């Protein structure tokens, strides 16, 4: 009698146990969702939602001034693409980005290599060279404006003392000098990040490689060409990608120094977008410009990644 | 003082490269060029646009004002005119770099506080005139749309305009704020030391206010002025003339076209097209 009662109970227990195990296995396989969920929610809130909202707004005539908004199809895109100022701004943005990133990388690399050979006061020197990176860009932009001011600026004073110029120049309001000066400022501002990262990269290159090269009689340039540069290639690629994204989208440095002028000589795409949205109050078109900027940046990075992959695949 | 008098004074006191007669503020990051052009155009009995919102930037009066400002910029403003904003007026005057400037009372007040030796040399007169004086008034208003703070806003306004508070409030930044109420136009207001010291500046300012209007509002309140000035179409026009050597007529044509677009869009959005 007991047996007849126990057997089904035991089967039921086994069945429950199997179900619990299946459930926990199912839960185990999906546990990653639990860990990913908070990050995904945060990303959705700060990236996906604004990006999708921006895309939606780009098809409307949303304005900072007028409360009503209506759907305008692709008008904002066609108006933007038809505007010669947009293409000028795109060209200036490419120049500004490529020259700034190249300059930052070059100066950062030189700084990192130089610091490698410094033995005394290395930490203090490294700290001093990182100073530009440590200050808010508004402070740096105004510092540069004052230094370059045609009336008060120390830059003109020194250049006149050295006999390099006859009279004070308005560096930021002349077409030939405005963009180069901005690039110079940006190189100065951005090179410490490159330098610190490359110093870390240099430390990761095995010393044995240099010792072997020395035994083989390699000179500095051969060491640099065949050991240092390949050793830093990956970190340099990452740095260039990161800085390209940051500089391409940089707004405050240009805005606080030249505001995009003289005329349109330093009007980059972020300044162009700002002028349309916050000065012209046309949020819909500003959103369209932002979408086009994202497409351009994606294209640039896609080309860059393709070149990188090709370089890595090469023997 | 006529346009020519002002130009002569500006040119005569220019001692480049350290000192200039009248440093204009033509940065595209501010409305300095637009406001000064509006004042000079008004003094030539002209407007940037008429009461219906038709752009009149190419009218003879405005064109003359543009040419006058270009001459000032070339002969008496120095190389920094395209970089300076209205707020730079304070440092330009306090450092003694410019002889003439617009916006006198506030400038004198700042100089009195920060650079007393310079302030002792300063005085004010009416803006240069051609047919008349074009006086610009900057009015600060508080809009209180429906919301949680409307009642607080009303209480703040009532507090500021209360008899016992109004003149002390105007005195918090002397020469920046002038009586909007008749009862504040009394000896207590004028007894404040800075106001008493620069009484002529105050008198000229108050006299000017009698015929002043907000920029772009000479035909009455309209929705175009803020957008016209904030889009920096005027400053862009001056930069094209001074940086790119664009002919004045061409630059005015480009600016007029941009201005027409702004006004047309505004009308369309307001259902006035």
Percent residues over pLDDT 70 in chain B: 97
Q: Do B85 and B191 belong together in one domain?
A: no
Give the mean pLDDT of B89-98. 91
Q: Which domain holds residue B155?
A: 147-199
- Residue A277: closest CA among A49, A45, A65, A85: A65
CATH architecture under which domain A76-313 falls: Orthogonal Bundle (1.10)
Residue B205 belongs to some domain of the structure: no
d(C-alpha B77, C-alpha B23), whole Å: 4
Gap between the Cα atoms of B235 and A310, Å rounded: 49
Pairwise CB contact (< 8 Å): B16 & A167? yes
pLDDT above 60: residue A4:
no
Asked if pLDDT for residue B29 goes beyond 90, the answer is no
Alpha-carbon A88 to chain mean position: 21
Residue A9's pLDDT is what? 67
- Note whether B156 and B195 are same-domain residues: yes
pLDDT, residue B145, reads 64
Closest among A228, A136, A247, A135 to A186, alpha carbons compared: A247
Residues of B in CB contact (< 8 Å) with A are 16-18, 27-29, 78-80, 82-83, 91-92, 95, 97, 227, 230-232, 236, 239-240, 243-244, 262, 265, 269-270
Q: Which residues of B241-251 are buried (b: 16+ CB within 10 A; e: fewer)?
A: bbbeebeeeeb
Residue B206 in domain: no
Q: Which residues contact A24 (CB under 8 A, 6 or more apart)?
A: none
Q: d(Cα A286, Cα A146) in Å, to the nearest integer?
A: 31
Residue A2's pLDDT is: 46
For A176-223, the pLDDT digits (tens) are: 999 999 999 999 988 988 998 999 899 889 988 888 988 888 888 888
- Domain containing B28 — which CATH number? 3.40.190.10
User: Do B159 and B191 fall into the same domain?
Assistant: yes
Which pLDDT value is given to residue A309? 83
Do residue B15 and residue B99 come from a single domain?
A: yes
pLDDT attached to residue B143 = 65
Is the CB of residue A202 less than 8 Å from the CB of residue A112? yes
Tokens of A309: 């992959």
pLDDT the model gives residue B103: 80
Nearest to B25 by CA among B249, B247, B238, B210: B238
The answer to whether the Cβ–Cβ distance between A151 and B95 falls below 8 Å is yes
B12 plus B52 within the same structural domain: yes
Is there a contact between A280 and B83 if contact means CB atoms under 8 Å apart? no
Q: How far is A61 from chain B (nearest CA, A)?
A: 10
Please tell me whether residues B168 and B264 are part of one structural domain: no
Is residue B17 reached through a cis peptide bond, with omega within 30 degrees of 0 on the bond before it? yes
Task: Share the mean pLDDT of chain B.
Answer: 90
Which distant-in-sequence residues (6+ apart) come within 8 Å of A245 by Cβ?
A297, A301
SS3 B168: helix
* Domain identity same for B23 and B86: yes
Q: Categorize the per-residue pLDDT at A63 as very low, low, confident or very high, splitting at 50, 70 and 90.
A: confident
Higher pLDDT, B46 or A65: B46
Question: Any bridge partners for residue B19, and if so which?
Answer: B15
**What pLDDT is attached to residue B263?**
92
Q: What is the pLDDT of residue A1?
A: 43
Same-domain pairing of B233 and B175: no
- Beta bridge partners of residue A60, listed in sequence order: A71
Same domain, B115 and B163: no
Q: Determine whether the interchain pair A263/B18 forms a contact, defined as Cβ–Cβ distance below 8 Å.
A: no
Given a cut of 80, whether residue A5 has pLDDT beyond it is no
Q: How confident is the model over A55-64, as a mean pLDDT?
A: 92
Among B102, B72, B62, residue whose Cα is nearest residue B8 = B72
Are B59 and B46 spatial neighbours (Cβ–Cβ below 8 Å)? yes
Which residues on A lie below 8 Å from B240 (Cβ)?
263
What's the number of domains chain B is made of? 2
B234 and B105 part of one domain: yes
Residue B196 has pLDDT above 90, yes or no: yes
Question: Which of A89, A147, A261 to probe the B interface (max B CBs under 10 A)?
Answer: A261
- Which residue in the block uniquely carries the two structure tokens 């006086």? B135
**Structural domain ending residue among the three candidates B176, B199, B222:** B199
Could you read off the pLDDT of A83-122 as tens digits, one per residue? Answer: 999 999 999 999 999 999 999 999 999 999 988 888 777 7
Q: Where are the domains of chain A?
A: 2-57, 76-313
> How large is the ipTM?
0.82
pLDDT of A123 reads: 79
Confidence of residue B47 (pLDDT cuts 50, 70, 90): very high
Band the pLDDT of A125: cuts 50, 70, 90.
Answer: confident
- Say yes or no: B71 and B118 in one domain: yes
Question: Phi and psi at residue A164, in whole multiples of 5°?
Answer: -85, -25
What's A275's DSSP letter?
I
Which pLDDT score is estimated for B157?
86
CB contact under 8 A, B269 and A65: yes
pLDDT, tens digit, 9 for 90 and up, residues A254-308: 999 988 989 999 999 999 999 999 888 889 999 999 999 999 999 988 988 888 8
- At A8-40, the pLDDT tens digits run 667 777 888 888 999 999 888 888 888 899 998
Please answer whether residues B21 and B11 qualify as being in contact, where contact means their C-beta atoms are separated by less than 8 angstroms: yes
Confidence of residue B273 (pLDDT cuts 50, 70, 90): low
Residue B94 covered by a domain: yes
Q: What rounded mean pLDDT belongs to chain A?
A: 89
Whether residue B235 sits in one domain with residue B129: yes
- What does the block give as tokens for A308? 């990188």
């Amino acid at each position: 009698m007991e047996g007849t009662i126990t057997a089904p109970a035991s089967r039921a227990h086994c069945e429950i146990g199997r179900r619990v195990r299946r459930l926990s296995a199912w839960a185990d396989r999906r546990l990653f969702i639990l860990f990913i969920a908070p990050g995904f929610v945060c990303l959705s809130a700060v990236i996906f939602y604004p990006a999708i909202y921006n895309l939606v707004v780009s098809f409307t005539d949303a304005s900072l001034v007028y409360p009503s908004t209506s759907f305008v199809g692709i008008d904002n895109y066609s108006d933007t693409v038809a505007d010669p100022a947009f293409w000028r701004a795109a060209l200036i943005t490419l120049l500004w980005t490529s020259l700034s990133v190249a300059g930052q990388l070059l100066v950062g690399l030189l700084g990192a290599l130089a610091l490698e050979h410094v033995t005394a006061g290395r930490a203090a020197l490294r700290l001093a060279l990182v100073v530009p990176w440590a200050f808010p860009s508004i402070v740096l932009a105004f510092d540069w404006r004052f230094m370059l001011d045609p009336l008060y600026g120390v830059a003109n004073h020194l250049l006149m003392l050295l006999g390099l110029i006859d009279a004070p120049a308005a560096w930021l309001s002349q077409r030939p000098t405005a963009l180069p000066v901005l690039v110079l400022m940006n190189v100065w501002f951005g090179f410490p990040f490159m330098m610190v990262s490359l110093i870390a990269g240099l430390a990761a290159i095995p010393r044995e490689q240099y010792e072997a090269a020395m035994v083989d009689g390699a000179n500095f340039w051969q060491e640099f060409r065949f050991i240092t540069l390949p050793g830093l290639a990956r970190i340099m690629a990452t740095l260039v990608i990161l800085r390209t994204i940051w500089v391409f989208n940089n707004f405050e440095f240009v805005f606080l120094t030249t505001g995009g002028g003289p005329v349109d000589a330093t009007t980059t795409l972020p300044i162009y977008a700002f002028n349309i949205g916050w000065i012209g109050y046309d949020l819909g078109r500003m959103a369209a410009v932002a979408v086009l900027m994202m497409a351009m940046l994606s294209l640039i990075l896609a080309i860059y990644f393709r070149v990188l992959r090709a370089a890595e695949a090469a023997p | 003082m006529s346009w020519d008098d002002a130009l002569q004074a500006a040119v005569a006191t220019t001692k480049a490269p350290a000192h200039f007669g009248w440093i204009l503020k033509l940065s595209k990051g501010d409305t300095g060029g637009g406001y000064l052009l509006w004042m000079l155009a008004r003094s030539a009995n002209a407007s940037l646009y008429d009461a219906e919102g038709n752009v009149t930037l190419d009218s003879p009066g405005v064109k003359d004002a543009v040419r006058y400002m270009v001459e000032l910029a070339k002969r008496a403003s120095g190389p920094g005119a395209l970089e300076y904003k209205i707020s730079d007026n304070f440092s330009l005057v306090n450092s003694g770099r410019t002889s003439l400037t617009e916006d006198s009372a506030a400038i004198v007040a700042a100089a009195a506080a920060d650079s007393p030796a310079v302030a002792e040399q300063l005085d004010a007169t009416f803006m240069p005139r051609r047919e008349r004086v074009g006086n610009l008034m900057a009015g600060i208003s508080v809009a209180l749309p429906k919301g949680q703070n409307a009642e607080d806003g009303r209480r703040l306004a009532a507090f500021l305009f209360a008899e016992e508070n109004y003149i002390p409030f105007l005195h918090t930044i002397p020469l920046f704020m002038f009586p909007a109420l008749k009862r504040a136009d009394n000896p207590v207001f004028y007894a404040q030391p800075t106001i008493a010291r620069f009484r002529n500046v105050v008198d000229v300012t108050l006299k000017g206010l009698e015929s002043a209007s907000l920029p772009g509002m000479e035909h009455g309140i309209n929705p175009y002025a803020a957008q016209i000035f904030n889009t920096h179409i005027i400053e862009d026009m001056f930069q094209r003339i001074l940086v790119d050597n664009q002919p004045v007529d061409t630059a005015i044509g480009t600016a007029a076209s941009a201005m027409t677009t702004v006004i047309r869009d505004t009308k369309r959005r307001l259902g006035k097209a």
